[in-house]
Each structure stands twice: as structure tokens, then as C-alpha cells.
Structure 1
Amino acid sequence: MAQQNLEGLADRLPTWARGWSRRRIFGSAAAVLLVVVLAVSCLGGAGGRADVPVLAEGPDAGVEGVRSPSEASGGTLRVVAPTIDSLDPQRSYLPGVWNLMRLYARTLVTYASEQGSTGELVPDLATDLGTVSEDGLTWTFTLREGVRFETGQPITSRDVKYGIERSFASDVIVGGPTYVVDLLDDPANPYPGPYSTEEDDPDLTAVETPDDRTIVFRLRSPQPDFPYVMALPSSSPVPADADTRGEYGRDPVSSGPYAVTSVDPETGIRLDRNPQWDPATDGVRTALPDTVVVRTGLSGLERDQALLAGSADIDVSGTGVQTATTARMPENDALLARVDDVTTGAVRVLALPTDVAPMDNPSCRSAVAAAVDRSAVQAALGGAANVVRSSQLWPRDLAGGPKHRDADPDPDLARAALEECGQPEGFSTVLAVADVPSSLAAAEAVAAQLGEVGIDVEVRPLDPVTFYATEVGNPDNVRQNGYGLVLATRTADLPTPGSFLVPMVDGRSVRTVGNPNYARLADPAIDALVDQARGQGVEGWRAVAEAVLETSAYVPLAETRIQLLAGQRLRNGLVMRPYAGYDVATAGVR
């Protein structure tokens, strides 16, 4: 009887959750019971009625608008999170933590807190989005008047420069993004960061501070995405006299509406109002709660349980609810009304290294591209609830991209391509994949598809910890092991086409450690298109994406999809696309 009930659940799944395997539904059952025990107390037992007030305005209310708008201040915003890598703005590389940092780390520019515009930049510490010179090499920003650190010390251009300088100290400040190093450093005379005391150390002359309110950046090459780099927390100001180097994350100095007042492994992080913050200087943050408390180190299921039980308002992980919670949703309209469904910009791609035989032959690569069945890959990854099929090297939320075509596999075209590449009977190759269940499932699905046209694929699981750094991130290692296929996930740090495409497709981005150009695509024609796109905008980047697909060096497969669950009392639930979560800077609880 229990098995029949579970099988019946598949027929009751909503459209976005259909396509799940029976194994996944069965496997979720035990975990669902854990969630339901906590959920019943806050959702009621009949018709989804709640025993306590539950704010729920319907599915996707936080995507299409703002969930439960309110201007009331006060109360405590309760946040749950996985392990935090660092509270030091220059040392974090987790988008969920970047979201949290909006509370205490302001930047020259930041993302808008307005529905439909959360991927767009607005001025923050600066008066505008910056002024660029005609040659694209010089960017100038002017700071607002009246902005202060929590200490009462005015924030100057030198504080912004010092915060940026910290990222150059690669022996001390580790873990965060290093875009500023790539854009501003002199390779012939590299700047070592602010901690080195050698007499012949160079200064960071690429950043000038002619007065307290003016900061000028001189780039090595034009970069239209530069303002987005300035929106990263790693570009936030740090007062030099308060810098405790590697320990700075224990007590970062606030430039925002809240200050970190305690950090404890057991109780989490507490942020209280920063009395030096002036709302007149901040058009982004509403800072409604009196206090923000963050419980850290929680598993996905524990975070879901907290949201369901009413003990948490926001999960900042950016990963959405777990399989067990998703399986519970179709049975309860009250839960569905609190869900916002979003794609994350994380695109799974099949890379075909162009320097590994026979993938050095374009026709052999075309055979692989023609044989791939995205529907089967989607099913292996858990169905439509987890991923959306993707046929373009372009995240769906980025405007202006090529149209996604849901093409079926074409075995006949694949066999014709094998003839052209001199392998009419097929060939053997190795598929490198991170040794995690979801990736392995997708890899096995791809191997089965290619086997149908005579391409024999050995799926080789690799250590996920070193996968991107040295396993597939080292071109020599890829060649030596004969990895003709690499299953990878590409997520851009910045919500721009260039940030997504350039590391993967520009031949000049290939490096020996952490190489992001998994296919080792080094095509002068595509590199030229990249250079043109920097000055053309979206149309130019669309041409780049289309040209890369023609090479079959990359085969896009699917984009990750998540369901965000709003806490029972969350107000102003606005989905921030860059962080795949609710905006903590404008959230309220009253």
C-alpha cells in the first residue's frame, strides 16, 4: 500500500516536478517524513490551514514582484546558512555570503533592490556608475558625501583603494575573487599587496586617489564589465588602521546599515544596527529589522526544516530547497504559495578538449553534439524540478541571448559526422566527471547516448575537491589522461555575457592551474569576436556564443533550477538574481 501511495504521488506532481524517477520519489520518502513532522505544526492539518499567520502570496510572488510588501521596521530577521567561508569581504567567494555582506559592506556600485532590475547596477558609495574614458582604459568614480564607517570615520577614496589592495596579498588574503589583480596589476612588476615591507616593492599606481572623494582606475585593457567588478564585496572599503590581515573576518568594520557584533560557531552571527549609517546616503538598503541573526553550518535539510517550522525567514545558501522538501510541496497549496522558482545561471556543459584526439577533429566533435539527448540528461539530473534543458551557451536570465532550441538528438547526423571525421565505426574516449551523484548520473546518461552511435565512453569519476583546480583545470593532465569529454558546470561571477563566455572560449584564458577554458578552445577568429564584443555589447556577445557552438567544442546541456521557500513571516521577499536568493538588504519581518 505504501508503494502504491508513493507511485500515486508521481501523478500529483506539478508540471515543474514531473519527470522524476521512481527511485528519486522512493528515496525521498524517509527524509520527507522528517520535514513533515516539523511542517505540520506550522501548516495545520486540513486544507493547508496554518495555526499561526503565514505570509504567502502565491507561487513566484518574489520573482514577478515583491512578496508581502511592508515598510514597517523592527524585529529580528532570522537567516539560515551553510558553512560561511569568510566574513572578510576580500576573502569570500560564495554568492550567498555576498548577499549577506550587503548588510555591512558597501561598494562603489551595487545591484538594484527593485523587482525586474536585480541584475542591474545602481550607485552605492559612488554618486554614479562611473565615467569611462574614450579608450575604455580609465574609470573614474566620485564618492558620496557623508558616508562613514561604524567607527564614525569618514569613508574616503583611500579606504576603497586599500580594500582593493588587500586582494593583491595572495599569501594572506586568500579565497576571494581576484579580478582586480588581473585588470590592474603590472605583470612585469607585480604589486605584492599592502603587507609587504621590501624596499623595492612597487605601489599600485593603477589606482589613483587625487582627493578624498575621487578614485581613478587605469586598466591594462578595456573591460566594460569593470563596474560589475566594483560591485563585488572584494571591492568594498577597509580602513587600514583596523586591518587585522587574515583575522579581519572576525570583526570586519561596517560601512553599511548593520555591524557584525558577535561571531560564534554554535550560536552563529549577530548583526545590529550601525548608528553611523545614514539612510540619506543609501538608496538601496531599507534596513528594516533591528537585528539580523544568522545560524551557520546547517545542512540543506536543516535549513528547510527551519523555514517550515517558522524558526527562519531566509535561507541565503542560493541552493533552494532539498529534494525531500520539493517532494512535499505538491501535497500542500500553502507551501506552494511560498515558493519562488528560479534558474540560477549555472549551466552544465559537455566540453570536448580540442587538443585530445579524436576531438581535435571538428567532425568528431559534431558527432558527439548531434548524439546528445538533453531530455535524458534532464531526467538523470532529477527532472524539470532541478534543471531546465539548455541548448545555448547563455544563461536564460541574461537578456538578448540566442534563442534556446529544444532540439532532439539526431543519430543519423551523428553517424554522418563520424564518417566525415574518419571514424565510421565510432571511437573510444574518456569522460572526466566530478565524483558526485548528480554529475555521475548525467555522465552515465551521456555515455549511454553516445554508445548508441558507436562512441564508447569510459566515465571516469574524479575527486570533486581538485576537479576544477588540477584534474580538468590542468591542460597537460587532460591530454595525458586522454580526457576527450569533460562534464563541467559554468557559473559566471557577474551577470553579464562576457563574464560567462570569456573564461570558457577565449584562447587567451587558458592557463595551467584552474583553467576555465575546459575545451582548450583557441580559435583566433573567436578571440577576435571577443575583442569586438567588448565594444559592441549584447549583440557582439551573441555572435561569440553562436560562433562557439559552431565549433562543437562545447555542448550545453542544462541550467540548474531551484525553488526558494520564503519563511512564514518574511516581508519584502525580493528574489535577487545575482545571488539566487531573497535580498537581505530589503527584507523585513513586520
Structure 2
Amino acid sequence: MTYRHEEGEAGTELIPGLADALPRISDDGLTYDFTLRRGLRYSNGAPVRATDYPYSIMRMIRVPWGGRSFVTNYVEGAQEYDEGRADSIRGITADDNSGRITIRLREPYGAFSNVLAFPALAFVPRGTPMRNLSASPPPGVGPYMLDEVVPNRSFTVRRNPIFADFRIPDIPLGNLDAIRVSIVSNTNSEAQQVLNNQADVFDAGDTLPPALLPQIESQARDRFARKPVPSVYYFFLNTTRPPFDNEKARIAVNMAIDREALARIASGFLETGCFFIPRGIVGHPDSECPYGDEPDLEGAQRMLREAGLEGAPVTVWGQERSPRKEYIDYYTDLLNRIGFRAEERIIADTVYFPTIGNERTDPQTGYANWLQDFPNPSDFYLLMDARSIQPTNNQNFSKVDDPFIQRQLERLNPVPATELDTVAAEWQALDEYTAERAYVAAFGGLSVPKFFSERMNFDSVFHPLYFNDWSTLSLK
């Protein structure tokens, strides 16, 4: 499965990729059937077989992918496989002769069709080693293939010469022979290179430095735009250890945060808010923030005194990249101002999320964000689901385990994506409850920069899930 290569709402439409049609879903929502297209081959020329699929899912779990709970929570036998109690996933069967693949769920999950479109669930050949292969990625099926990989420094994608033979509808073949990518943490250098036409595309996942923004807006207005994306930026608050196992401590943080100040740090790319479900996603509350529109430092200080938490030590985790480092600078100072004894722990971007998602680290608080994987509130509430708490690659950083949230997710998650509007009010009520319990300190959602060099055509697709659509990039 994949998404249509279009901008805006059109880009959220699911379309078949390596399957010959959308899934056939049983009336009870528990069985998904596919048939693989005939004649597919990997970029190395090897045939794509239906039995590669269950192997690919097992490998995704073993590597492991941080979002694997989308599969282990729902597919029959996936949890047992993840825990080492089974050698395979009984809920996924495949037949190479017919190309048929069948997936059985333990319980209905309305967004499972979206889960099937995750890049992490893509095919790899059976026998691909079940370990991280960043330095030498396995072959895949698509218009481009990975080459010349230097982990954490650079990689190249080159046109896949056999992909056009498959004639898969609605999948662009790509316009460029090669795209060379450099990985840098210095966003000022990154932006300056694109402004000066030394590089062609600015990473839309990065933030333009405030000092350069006026120059970009005046000199490059025809090759720069802000693109809103459904997302939530927040500080997680570990509910399982002091001081944030105390609800008053969490509320104090939410009361004190100046979200407008954080928007200024983000160079105007942050749209402030205090709810977890972002704008553009069904269930986003249209009610007022329970902590008001203005920061209340005195109220936060008073609440900490009442809780007996003045002087409580707090380590604040953050990344090196800008403006995330600046978010943490602000946040740490704020915690000290309201009465905590806070200090920063800044680590490299490349290891940040695996580190804070490891139970051995068990961080108290720090920076986190989530951009939609698919247009459904259940995607965001993965981060509030107790079943998502994992020993490694944990995404529920606040370790929220709330019986009310679990009961609501049990009712709301099975609702098919096509019927989300019927439960919008219930999702909104759940999100208002979550905000009142202050499980995180949400501070807004982001617009991201589409910023190219003068050599590039600016009319390429900016996808709502994947940002710059590389298969539609082209030179003038």
C-alpha cells in the first residue's frame, strides 16, 4: 500500500502499490487479503515473492522499528514473535503460486490499511539479515534505489532501471537520475547552501535559522514557502518517576510555558496550541486551553510549593540541532524559574530518540515531537497508549498508563478511517481529558519550509505525509 502522489488532502488517499488492488477486508474487520502484482523484481533483479512479506514483517520487528506496536498490538501472533515465544507470525500467511497474502488481526483496527502503507512494512528479500543495515541497505522496489551510503554523513538515491517495466499505476517514475544527500546538524550551513545555490533542496524536517529568514524571504521568495503539516511538538513528562509522577508538577509545567516564546524560537513556523491531537486531524479540540492563553509563573510556583516539590532535581533531555536545543534551553530555564533544580542533558541527534526510548535511560522530561504517519487521531494516540511502552524504541515517553484512555482507545481505534467523523466528538473529549491530566506539555504544531535552489522547478509535489516528494523533483 502507498499514498497518492498529490498535495493536501488528495495525498492522504491510499492506493495499491505492490498489491494489485486495495485490501479485501472481512465484515468483522479482522482479515485483510491482498494479491501481489505479477512480475515484480527487486532493484537487484531478484523476483519479489509473496512469502517475502511475512519475513519482512518479522525483520521489521527484530531490527527493531520503533513503531512496531502498530503491528504487534493487532496482528495475530506478532506479540508472541516479538517476545521470542514464537518462531513466526501465525497471523500472516502467503502463497507464492497465487501471490496471495492474508493478514489476520486479533481485534479490529480501523487504521490498519494506513499501517500497511508504512515504509517500514515494505518488502525485502527473504534471508535479508535481521539487523540494522544502514551501511549497506537491502534492495527494495521503487523508482529509486539507495547507493553510496555513509551512515550519518551521506547517501545517494539512483534511478532504478527496471522499475518502469512494472507499469504500476499512479506511481511516478522519477525525473532525476540521482539525488545526493548530505546529513548535517548545522541548519544555518544547510540553509546558506540552498540560498547560495550550492545545494538544491533544504530538508523540510529542519527549521530555517531566524537570522537567515528575512534574507530568504527577500531574495528567494519565489523558491520558498511555508507548508503546514499535522504535528504535535511537546515536552514529555515521565509519569512513573518523581517529580512528574505528581500531577501537580505536570500541571505547573503546563501553566508556566510561554508558547508564544517557543513560536519565536521556531522562526514563526510554530502554530501554538496545548492539545495533543493537532489541527487538521479529526478530534482536534476547538475548546480553550485548560491552562489559559498566557503563562502563569506565580500559579506554577504556588502549585509546586503546595506539592512540596521545590528544589526537586530534574534532568532535561534534548538534541543538538536547532531549534530543538533552543527549546530545551528555554524549557530548562523555565523549570528553574518555577522552583525545580533543572539541568540539561544534550546528546547527538542521531542517537537521541533511541536513547530516551530505552528503559535503562528512563528520562524524566525532555523534547519530543510527532508528525502524522497517517491522517487519523489513533496515530497520535499511539504515544498515549500503555501498550506502546516498550523496553527499547519506546514512543510513549511519558509512560502514560491511564485506564480511561485505554477504554476509550479500545472503542475508538476500531472505527474505520472512512467513518472518523462519526466519532469526532469522542476523540475531542478524550484529548481534552488528556490535556487536563497534563501527561505532556504540548506547545504547538509546525509548518515546514519548502525551500529550493534556483535550479529546481518549484512545482514539485509537497506531500502531506512525506514532505518533498523526491519522485516529482525536477530541474528547470
Q: 1:531 aligns with which of 410, 435, 455?
A: 410
Q: Secondary structure at the match of 2:212?
A: helix
- Structure 2 matches for 1:19-58, cutoff 5 A? none
Shift in Å at residue 259 of structure 1?
Answer: 4.0
Shift in Å at residue 300 of structure 1?
Answer: 3.5
Q: Contact between 2:460 and 2:469, CA under 8 Å: does it hold in 1?
A: yes
> 1-side partners of 2:296 and 2:154: how far apart?
57
- Structure 2 matches for 1:88-167, cutoff 5 A? 109-116=1-8, 117-150=10-43, 154-167=47-60
Shift in Å at residue 402 of structure 1?
Answer: 1.6
Give the structure with higher Rg (CA): 1
User: Which residue is 1:569 aligned to?
Assistant: 455
> 1-side partners of 2:37 and 2:131: how far apart?
27
Q: Secondary structure at the match of 2:167?
A: helix
Q: Contact between 1:138 and 1:217, CA under 8 Å: does it hold in 2?
A: yes
> 2-side partners of 1:143 and 1:529: how far apart?
36
User: Which residue is 1:328 aligned to?
Assistant: 215
User: Which residue is 1:462 aligned to?
Assistant: 345
Change in CA separation of 1:122 and 1:410 when aligned onto 2, cut-off 3 Å: same
Q: 1:509 aligns with which of 388, 395, 403?
A: 388
Give unmatched runs, 5+ long, in structure 2: none
Q: 2:77 aligns with which of 178, 186, 210?
A: 186
User: Which residue is 2:195 aligned to?
Assistant: 308
Q: 1:216 aligns with which of 102, 118, 131?
A: 102
Q: 1:340 aligns with which of 202, 225, 232?
A: 225
Q: 1:202 aligns with which of 87, 90, 93?
A: 87
Deviates more, 1:313-322 or 1:227-236: 313-322
| 1:384 equivalenced with 2:235 (yes/no) | no
> 2-side partners of 1:444 and 1:260: how far apart?
40
Q: Contact between 2:217 and 2:224, CA under 8 Å: does it hold in 1?
A: no
Q: 2:254 aligns with which of 357, 364, 369?
A: 369
Could you tell me which amino acid in structure 1 is paired with residue 6 of structure 2? E
Residue deviations 1:62-86, cap 9 Å, x none? xxxxxxxxxxxxxxxxxxxxxxxxx
Could you tell me which amino acid in structure 1 is paired with residue 378 of structure 2? G
Q: Contact between 1:158 and 1:209, CA under 8 Å: does it hold in 2?
A: yes
Q: 1:438 aligns with which of 315, 320, 326?
A: 326
Shift in Å at residue 490 of structure 1?
Answer: 2.6
Shift in Å at residue 319 of structure 1?
Answer: 1.5
Q: 1:549 aligns with which of 415, 435, 438?
A: 435
> 1-side partners of 2:360 and 2:66: how far apart?
24
Change in CA separation of 1:530 and 1:181 when aligned onto 2, cut-off 3 Å: closer
Q: Contact between 2:204 and 2:450, CA under 8 Å: does it hold in 1?
A: no
User: Which residue is 1:519 aligned to?
Assistant: 398
Q: Contact between 2:164 and 2:173, CA under 8 Å: does it hold in 1?
A: no
Structure 2 length-normalised TM: 0.79
Could you tell me which amino acid in structure 1 is paired with residue 382 of structure 2? V
> 2-side partners of 1:476 and 1:328: how far apart?
41
Give unmatched runs, 5+ long, in structure 1: 1-108, 194-199
Q: 1:500 aligns with which of 350, 367, 380?
A: 380
> 2-side partners of 1:445 and 1:149: how far apart?
52
Residue deviations 1:137-184, cap 9 Å, x none? 32222223443334555533223333223224x3xx456753445544
